């Protein structure tokens, strides 16, 4: 019995030789339990060592192997060949990002946007180690736990139509992580984050298409996080109109 084969169309871009990206077709063995990342690894190990792509954990945890697979943003370690066979698979770098080389996207803009929302804990007060852990109730943890699952894979940015129309939009993942820390009872940085998150380029640029939540591999639901931030920001605005209590 002859070996079953599946064809992979890979977008290639080598800046030192290519004027524009071009597709190159590779034939790889079809193995039912392989994912697209396995096929790309086979190409690099056996067919073309010049192929460039990012990956690390192969377990849908690190978020580094995000690509466009048949036009949909996916983790290549989570896209099984059996879901496409016997058809051809088209693999491209993530949409809405510049191409650095082959399937490697330039992530500088994303990192700047992520940094701008201060996605880290800002303690309400300095606590000595002797004070022990800063405890939370299960209910307090549940408020933000879902949003801690973000792995910064950038699939939501590739799916977001607003990013393609407005490159200044801070975007789903960054705004979701801002919301995650704003909901944490141990944090006191909301006022600083809101200057960015609640700006025009922040949550108010989101048109609530929901594509970000549809492609999220960890079911974080960034669309919900953004809408919740809109509500909280609207409440802030109304409160600012009210006279100070007690006067």
Per-residue pLDDT, 238: 86
Other Cβ atoms less than 10 A from the Cβ of 52: the count is 16
Chain CA centroid to CA 206, Å: 16
pLDDT (tens digit per residue) in 213-241 = 999 999 999 999 999 999 999 999 888 88
Tokens of 217: 């591999």
> Does the pLDDT value for residue 245 go beyond 70?
no
Going along the chain from its start, the domains and CATH numbers come out as 5-105 (3.10.20.30), 108-241 (1.10.1060.10)
pLDDT at 122 (0 to 100) = 92
Greater confidence (244 vs 146) lies with: 146
Long-range contacts of 123-130 (CB under 8 A, 24+ apart): 123/186, 123/187, 123/188, 124/186, 124/187, 124/188, 125/188
- The pLDDT of residue 228 is 96
How does pLDDT run across 40-75, given as a tens digit for each residue? 999 999 999 999 999 999 999 999 999 999 999 999
How many angstroms separate the CA atoms of 223 and 161, rounded?
Answer: 13
pLDDT number for residue 237? 87
Q: Are 205 and 169 in contact (CB under 8 A)?
A: yes
Predicted TM-score of the model (pTM): 0.91
Does 1 have pLDDT greater than 60? no
Orientation angle between helical segments 190-197 and 222-241, nearest 10 degrees? 110
pLDDT in tens, 88-146: 999 999 999 999 999 999 999 999 999 999 999 998 778 888 888 888 999 999 999 99
Residue 218: how many CB atoms within 10 A of its CB? Answer: 17
Per-residue confidence (pLDDT) for residue 2, from 0 to 100: 64
């Amino acid at each position: 019995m002859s070996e079953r084969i599946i064809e992979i169309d890979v977008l290639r871009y080598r800046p030192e030789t290519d004027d524009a990206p071009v597709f190159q077709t590779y034939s790889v063995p079809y193995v039912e339990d392989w994912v697209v990342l396995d096929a790309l690894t086979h190409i690099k190990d056996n067919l073309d060592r010049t192929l460039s792509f990012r990956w690390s954990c192969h377990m849908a945890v690190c978020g580094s192997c995000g690509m466009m697979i048949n036009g949909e943003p996916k983790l290549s370690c989570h896209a099984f060949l059996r879901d496409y066979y016997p058809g051809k698979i088209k693999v491209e770098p993530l949409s809405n990002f510049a191409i650095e080389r082959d399937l490697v996207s330039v992530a500088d803009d994303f990192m700047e946007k992520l940094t701008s929302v201060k996605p880290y804990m800002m303690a309400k007060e300095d606590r000595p180690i002797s004070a022990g852990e800063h405890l939370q109730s299960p209910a307090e943890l549940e408020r933000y736990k879902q949003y801690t699952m973000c792995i910064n894979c950038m699939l939501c940015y590739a799916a977001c139509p607003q990013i393609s129309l407005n490159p200044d939009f801070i975007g789903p993942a960054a705004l979701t992580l801002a919301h995650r820390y704003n909901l944490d009872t141990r944090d006191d940085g909301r006022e600083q984050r809101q200057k960015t998150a609640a700006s025009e380029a922040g949550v108010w640029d989101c048109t609530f298409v929901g594509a970000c939540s549809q492609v999220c591999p960890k079911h974080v639901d960034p669309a919900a996080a953004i809408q919740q931030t809109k509500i909280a920001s609207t409440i802030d605005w109304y409160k600012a109109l009210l006279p100070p209590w007690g006067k």
